[in-house]
Amino acid sequence: MPGLITMDDLTNDEIISILDDAERLLPVARGEIYLPLLQGRILGNLFFEPSTRTRMSFETAMKRLGGDVVNLGDVKTSSVVKGETLFDTIQMVDGYTDIIAMRHPRQGAAQYACDSAKVPILNGGDGAGHHPTQTMLDLFTIRQSHGTLEGLNVVLAGDLRYGRTVHSLSHALVRFGCNVTFASPESLRMPEEIVADLKVHGAEVVETDDLLGQINSADVIYMTRIQKERFPDEDEYAKVAGAYKLQASDLDGAKAEMIIMHPLPRVNEIHPSVDSTRHARYFEQAFNGVVARMALMCRLLGVDVPAAIGTEGGIQ
């Protein structure tokens, strides 16, 4: 059964068409309209590692569309702790549900689940691999702000080595002809094979350790969290993380329409002073996870999103 494992599973036309669906679903996501397109359908939420936004937004998306959700629950109390293989877990959940959203600490787990299942699998993150549903909501947010995905200057900053959101996003951006700049400490650079893939797609990739120098030419700055555990000692972490922080005063020379995004949770990399600037988009971005996932679930379940959705009382 086809699922969404990496962004390669969608063509550019499909991406645009799903983003269009998501846009029409905005009033449904906000709870202004009840549109039970997925009534009677059950989502299996299989989160083998912690998740707040992804898990909750999948659940919200399914419930806003009239469907229901079953959760794996805490991995520590599930059959996984008894040594059940992923294959067996998927066989079981496959029988209980119509679609599965999954996050797993092992890379490749989503493709493995997809090969094991009859129902569609939505990859909600596999190790340091891919996170395509996050990419869809990121693309939605970028298009919402700039009106296009094409030809933008996008700076991806922070932990590019282990941050799966930036792996999936950079692939998609390049496909839409964006110029991508990777700003990260040397030890957290984008993996070579991803840079090689991007170059195959014809992208000119700029790698730098200077984030602040990129601000004025950027249309989008996508920040990620640098995690302490990636560094051998606290001092080294403090030195590196300090160079990848944004505060409001850093944005004086930025383009008016430049937006700052972050997959959240943030720690220190975006100072709260940025929240009230015109550039901050990370909370809207988190909300957009609901519409993007609504549209994706409809697509994978073969349910058409109506061409016109009224602002009152359901479908016009």
Partner 1 sequence: MSQEANMRRVTAIKNGTVIDHVPAGKALSVLKMLGIGGDMSNPVSLVMNVPSKKMGGKDIIKVEDRELTQHELDRLALVAPDASVAIIRAYSVAEKLDINLTDEVVNVARCTFSNCITENPREPLPHRLIVTKRDPLELRCRYCGKTQDIEALVDNLI
Which tokens in the block code for residue 108?
A: 């490749």
201 has catalytic annotation: no
Between 104 and 131, CB nearer to partner 1: 104
Pick the stretch among 109-117, 207-215, 231-239, 281-289 that binds partner 1 (CB under 8 A): 109-117
Q: Exactly one of 41, 64, 130, 131 is catalytic; name it.
A: 131
Between 71 and 107, CB nearer to partner 1: 107
> What one-letter code names the amino acid at 267?
V
- Picking from 17, 47, 160, the residue whose alpha carbon sits closest to that of residue 57 is 47
Q: Exactly one of 103, 130, 164, 281 is catalytic; name it.
A: 103
Q: Does 151 bind partner 1 (CB under 8 A)?
A: no
* Alpha carbon distance 153, 178 (integer Å): 6
Q: Does 78 bind partner 1 (CB under 8 A)?
A: no
Instruction: Tell me if 248 sits within 8 A of 268, measured CB to CB.
Output: no
104 has catalytic annotation: no
Q: Does 31 bind partner 1 (CB under 8 A)?
A: no
In the sheet that holds 179-183, the strands lie side by side as 205-208, 179-183, 153-157, 220-223, 259-261
Q: Does 104 bind partner 1 (CB under 8 A)?
A: yes
Instruction: Tell me if 36 sits within 8 A of 28, measured CB to CB.
Output: no
Phi, psi angles (nearest 5°) of residue 49: -145, 165
Of these, 11, 52, 85, 148, which contacts partner 1 (CB under 8 A)? 85
Between 36 and 127, CB nearer to partner 1: 127
CB of 133 to partner 1, least distance (A): 17
Of these, 27, 127, 177, 306, which contacts partner 1 (CB under 8 A)? 127
DSSP 197-218: HHHHTT--EEEES-SGGGGGG-
- Picking from 153, 282, 284, the residue whose alpha carbon sits closest to that of residue 224 is 282
Of these, 4, 109, 137, 240, which contacts partner 1 (CB under 8 A)? 109
54 has catalytic annotation: yes
CA neighbours closer than 13 Å in the CB half-sphere of residue 157: 28
Q: Exactly one of 6, 41, 53, 167 is catalytic; name it.
A: 53
Q: Return the active site residues.
A: 53-54, 82, 103, 131
What are the residues binding partner 1 (CB under 8 A)? 6, 83, 85-87, 104-109, 111-112, 115-116, 126-130, 193
